[in-house]
Amino acid sequence: MAGRAELRVAHHRAGLLRRVRPRLHRPSPSPADLRDPRAPRNLADTARKEFGTLDVLVNAAAINTREPIANVTPELWTEISDVNLKAAYFLAREAMLVMRATGGGSIINVTSINMEIGLEGVSVYGANKADLAQVTKTMCIEWAQYNIRANCISPGFLMTSLSRPLWEDTDRASWILERCPLRRPGMPSELVGACLLLASDAGSFISGTSIRVDGGLVAGSPWKSVPG
């Protein structure tokens, strides 16, 4: 990617937007409640009015509440799914409508390796991410005629606020590290390379696929346990 990009950032946490703003070139934060059905259209319209176009959408917002299936209520299912799946689906749709009118673009949906491996307590989150990966394939097929590419980035176990309970649990942290060939958690910044590839002309013939950024975890596990 040559030159600088103008960026509109939407997030449900206004505090996070304030923290990232100094690090971006011409950022335009837009706090939004992604559970609000009006949010996707409002965000797309704001981006179009401010920049005249919308070249890249990164659907990265996610929430989770860890509960066994026996404890999941219809209300909890809806609360989690409204952000992880419904908002992402309609944000992509609204972005497509802008991109279709302005020559194309790239849609990047952030999923998770939880769509490929089952873990207790994350049944709703895992289902949401699997659904998002599947619908991304349909986006690829339906929107290619408008020069719009759609792909997924599938992170492994990163060190984030959402995954903090895992890393604070000694047994679970050891379980992860024993199964990850790189023997460490990933960092959010390590998603940047895949994101830049899919957003830029370097990835102009990549569509309908998913790139894992998981330290090799889904590929398999080493025989030896973590030293020490």
Enumerate the active-site residues: 125
Return the C-alpha torsion angle 180, 183, 187, 193, nearest 10: -70
The span from the CA of 136 to the CA of 85, in Å, is: 11
Place of tokens 């590290």: 177
At CA 182, angle to CA 181 and CA 184, rounded to 5? 120
> Secondary structure of 94-150 in the HEC alphabet?
HHHHHHHHHCCEEEEEECCHHHCCCCCCEHHHHHHHHHHHHHHHHHHHHHHHHCEEE
d(CA 95, CA 77): 26
Amino acid at 198: L
Between helix 39-51 and helix 88-102 the angle, nearest 10°, is: 30
The residue type found at 222 is P
